[in-house]
Structure 1
């Protein structure tokens, strides 16, 4: 039985909702996507293993493997990896049904069209086109869960005791430009606990908003310190960034605010560890906590994601540059690469579609990019796994 054509695969992947969200009312299982991919992989002769995540029940990983006779299927070869979940969407800002593949103005619209369900259609099409050739190295297809919030799927795969690919391509949308390194990601909540009371007598309470003002002053100083002390020229934004993203506190104008919470985003460079950055954050709020004992708490909103530290001169980067005609770059966003790299494989991030479309209303794949992206990916797989 042959696979569906490329657009049909795209359509069927997008038609299966698989949203990951911290809000439980929006959060969904990705099981339907995983089972569909497993079915297609099996049609291409892959053995498949579907695993429910320990850290996120109801979410699933798929590991599909195909190996030439006489070779160990768990080691060597190439892993093609991507996540099957998407971000939530704002229905009022979409001009199309997010779960229906819509073709207009030479674009394919749909939630996950480039971030990143669509990558699997490219992979499966490439493998179908190469079926007449002799496979000379193991091929693995990894489809993970929960990348958009916890990266739990990739973290569980990283602890797999029997998986040692030689190389890994993560198909996040890079317009087929190879990415060899990227920043990490921390999201933290800073919570101020004060004492509420009547606004007519300020000294009887402790205003959490006023304390937060002092915290913000120190955080802005930390922001400048990070900018001045750490730098890598590989990145377009060469320093670690700190963003004050969300704040809420208080309930009425005539009450002393008893609680205020600020959510911040930090992006560490390779070489700046999560532990070091967490220590700098605690150091920034320590004087305020000393003055107002136990008033300031710092909490992780999710497990921090370390930076991905690859090198430009590894064989996989060199091959990807040669085939794509593009020089490898460093990027400011983060992916599952630092976890999959723990398997001991050379790793790059490289896939169809533009990162500018990720997490946007009316997410789309430009159709003029389909053929050249397919050619590059097919050639990458061919040169590593076929004779």
Structure 2
């Protein structure tokens, strides 16, 4: 059932999809998420939630929403991001910003990743507005998950969000995810000295120096695969991908500068900061031996890996309600930031990750009722029932 003050589930989804909230590292594609945040705040306020719009420092036009029903610490957090990735409208069969229903699917940018989750949360909680919430229900809507993760990062730094259990509603086809890999994207730049290629003594070739750096990273990749294994993942070891390389400007010039960018996917129990320290220790001597200067930087702050114990009451409840065992995935979410706030966390939501970031993104209609049922049961277990010891 829907609250009479609000549009119905489909209309809510339609209004959310119509608001362009693309986040991107390229400024000309980046949009504010404030229209989505204010619309959600209006809806949750109408349901009786206390709503707080929290601007994200140093990110103009970006904000988080914290909507709370009930009092006290503990309780359940239902979390999602309000932004979408950029899209190519010419590759879509219909307008990405117009909700289109056909063949049992709702098409639109953000339907499954992941504005649709908020519409389903409202559908679930509307059933309990006259109930006594013994522990609070907190709905969290974040900024820029698809680019900087600045919204969740800011919340983790502020430490103000209270809750004992958290569900991140990313599209998992309603399968509970209790662990995922972390991600680092790093850059190594070597600076030598350009000169005429006819005489190597006239310069210092940065590209020549990059070769042993790449070999050292390949050796690190092998070392990490031997040191760390986790059988829960389809790819059971950490991965290190040498993604792109740029250097020099002409065949007859000694390469004066060369830059390599790579990504590293970490397993639970690994530290991104420790890995950065290890990489520096391994490549600094190479730069010195080759007489090049070294600039090493993270291309973005990175996302830590995350894992919640299989014995967690939230994991066990999700497995019981979905009828499937919890899993591990290779992609990253905002879950580690909620975990840093002290919450037992899982990732569980409607729609398939296969549709995310793709033309003709859709949310299958047959995911909606099962998702609402799961959310209602979680609300009953973690908000309406007495607090667990």
Q: In the alignment, which of 87, 95, 98 is matched to residue 96 of structure 2?
A: 98
Map of 1:76 onto structure 2: 74
Conserved in 1, the CA contact under 8 Å of 2:190 and 2:287?
Answer: no
Whole-Å separation in 2 of the counterparts to 1:26 and 1:246: 23
What is the CA deviation profile of residues 313-352 of structure 1, one whole-angstrom value per residue up to 9, with x for unaligned ones? 0111111111111111121111111111122222111111
Does 139-148 or 200-209 show the bigger shift? 200-209
Whole-Å separation in 1 of the counterparts to 2:363 and 2:202: 59
Structure 1 residue 307: deviation in Å?
A: 1.2
Whole-Å separation in 2 of the counterparts to 1:200 and 1:14: 60
Map of 1:262 onto structure 2: 260
Does 197-206 or 10-19 show the bigger shift? 197-206
Whole-Å separation in 1 of the counterparts to 2:361 and 2:243: 23
Q: In the alignment, which of 3, 6, 10 is matched to residue 6 of structure 2?
A: 3
Change (3 A) 1:254 1:102: farther
SS in 1 for 2:161: coil
What is the CA deviation profile of residues 290-311 of structure 1, one whole-angstrom value per residue up to 9, with x for unaligned ones? 2124433211011122111210
Q: In the alignment, which of 135, 146, 153 is matched to residue 137 of structure 1?
A: 135
What is the CA deviation profile of residues 73-116 of structure 1, one whole-angstrom value per residue up to 9, with x for unaligned ones? xx121111111112222345433322222223322222211111
Whole-Å separation in 2 of the counterparts to 1:272 and 1:161: 23
Map of 2:354 onto structure 1: 356
What are the within-5 Å matches in structure 2 for residues 1-387 of structure 1?
1-67=4-70, 71-72=71-72, 75-386=73-384
SS in 2 for 1:159: helix
Whole-Å separation in 1 of the counterparts to 2:296 and 2:89: 33
Conserved in 2, the CA contact under 8 Å of 1:268 and 1:277?
Answer: no
Q: TM-score, normalization: structure 1? A: 0.93
Does 180-189 or 275-284 show the bigger shift? 275-284
Conserved in 2, the CA contact under 8 Å of 1:270 and 1:307?
Answer: yes
Conserved in 2, the CA contact under 8 Å of 1:239 and 1:269?
Answer: yes
Conserved in 2, the CA contact under 8 Å of 1:149 and 1:302?
Answer: no
Whole-Å separation in 1 of the counterparts to 2:122 and 2:291: 58
SS in 2 for 1:120: helix
Structure 1 residue 117: deviation in Å?
A: 1.3
Does 255-264 or 305-314 show the bigger shift? 255-264
Q: Which 5+ residue runs of structure 1 have no aligned equivalent?
A: none
Q: Which 5+ residue runs of structure 2 have no aligned equivalent?
A: none
Whole-Å separation in 2 of the counterparts to 1:336 and 1:116: 13
What is the CA deviation profile of residues 232-254 of structure 1, one whole-angstrom value per residue up to 9, with x for unaligned ones? 12222111111122222233333
How many aligned positions are there? Answer: 382
SS in 1 for 2:25: coil
Does 134-143 or 201-210 show the bigger shift? 201-210
Whole-Å separation in 1 of the counterparts to 2:313 and 2:254: 61
Q: TM-score, normalization: structure 2? A: 0.92
What is the CA deviation profile of residues 155-192 of structure 1, one whole-angstrom value per residue up to 9, with x for unaligned ones? 22123454321211111111111111111111101112
What do you get for the CA RMSD once the two structures are aligned? 1.9
